[in-house]
């Protein structure tokens, strides 16, 4: 009587199926998280719109919308597509996380300096009046860097397939915006300036959350001041192509607000 060794195929097949099943469960979980987050984001945006319409009226809401769209367009131009480049190269694995982060911080700093110089020059040569006037005009100085920072930081969460964290940052931004505006409305203190300040604050706080998730310790100031130019050039060269399409879509959806 001879002993037969068991057929290894069934056990091997089971081992191979476990990672596949785990990957499928992870994918389904990510899809569900993103889907639920999208529902929450649209719901929060609707609530914010209702409160703003009631608190600001037609004229105030129109002014708010002009500022909002102007910042989105300027932010889309100012990040020069680096956010999309980050997503691509993180998935491709061509460059390290820290190299891409250094280039992104450099772009954030450079675009902020350019924006501040433009705002000061515009305010001195003409007057502080660009869709909004007075103290609301100077909110651009905080709004643009906060939006650019949001796009760049969340691109690392997207590129690393951290969809739960990405959705959490987006929902947090919406919650903060609704909470601030809602409190101001209840206190009867809601005007265009405070509404815009609340919107800007929501992005600033979302940036802090995103930076915490990306990793404060990963930021190297020395490397951010002197990034690898070849890497940054590739980030811009690849990302700018997709950013042109995003800008075209943004203008298609939002241009009417400038014309009305």
Per-residue pLDDT of the chain (260 residues), as tens digits, is: 444 444 444 444 454 455 555 556 666 777 888 889 899 999 999 999 999 999 999 999 999 999 999 999 999 999 999 999 999 999 999 899 999 999 999 999 999 999 999 999 999 999 999 999 999 999 999 999 999 999 999 999 999 989 999 999 999 999 999 999 999 999 999 999 999 999 999 999 999 999 999 998 898 888 899 999 999 999 999 999 888 888 887 777 666 555 55
> What is the structure's pLDDT at 19?
57
> What is the structure's pLDDT at 113?
97
Q: What's the CA gap between 9 and 32, in Å, rounded? A: 34
> What is the structure's pLDDT at 132?
94
> What is the structure's pLDDT at 186?
96
How many CA atoms does the CB half-sphere of 8 hold within 13 Å? 2
Residue 233 is inside which H or E element, if any?
Answer: helix 229-259
pTM score, whole prediction: 0.86
> What is the structure's pLDDT at 45?
93
CB atoms < 10 A from the CB of 233, how many?
13
Contacts of 130 (CB under 8 A, 6+ apart): 70, 122, 137, 140
- Tell me which residue has tokens 């990957």: 23
Residue 37 is inside which H or E element, if any?
Answer: helix 9-78
> What is the structure's pLDDT at 244?
87
Q: Which two tokens stand for residue 207?
A: 């940036």
Q: Are 169 and 33 in contact (CB under 8 A)?
A: no
> What is the structure's pLDDT at 251?
73
């Amino acid at each position: 009587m001879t002993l037969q060794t068991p057929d290894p195929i069934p056990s091997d097949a089971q081992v191979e199926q476990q990672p596949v099943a785990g990957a499928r469960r992870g994918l389904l979980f990510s899809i569900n998280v993103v889907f639920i987050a999208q529902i929450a984001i649209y719901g929060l945006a609707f609530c914010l719109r209702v409160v703003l319409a009631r608190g600001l009226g037609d004229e105030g809401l129109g002014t708010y919308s002009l500022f909002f769209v102007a910042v989105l367009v300027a932010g889309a131009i100012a990040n020069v597509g680096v956010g999309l480049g980050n997503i691509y190269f993180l998935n491709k694995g061509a460059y390290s996380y820290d190299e891409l982060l250094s280039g992104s911080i450099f772009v954030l700093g450079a675009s902020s300096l350019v924006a501040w110089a433009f705002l000061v020059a515009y305010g001195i040569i003409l007057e502080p009046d660009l869709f909004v006037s007075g103290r609301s005009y100077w909110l651009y100085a905080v709004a643009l860097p906060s939006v650019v920072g949001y796009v760049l930081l969340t691109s690392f969460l997207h590129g690393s397939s951290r969809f739960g964290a990405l959705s959490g940052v987006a929902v947090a931004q919406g919650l903060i915006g609704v909470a601030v505006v809602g409190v101001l409305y209840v206190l009867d203190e809601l005007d265009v300036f405070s509404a815009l300040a609340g919107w800007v604050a929501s992005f600033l706080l979302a940036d802090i959350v995103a930076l915490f998730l990306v990793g404060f310790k990963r930021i190297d100031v020395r490397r951010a001041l002197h990034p690898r130019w070849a890497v940054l050039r590739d980030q811009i060269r690849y990302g700018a192509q997709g950013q042109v399409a995003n800008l075209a879509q943004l203008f298609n959806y939002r241009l009417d607000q400038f014309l009305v």
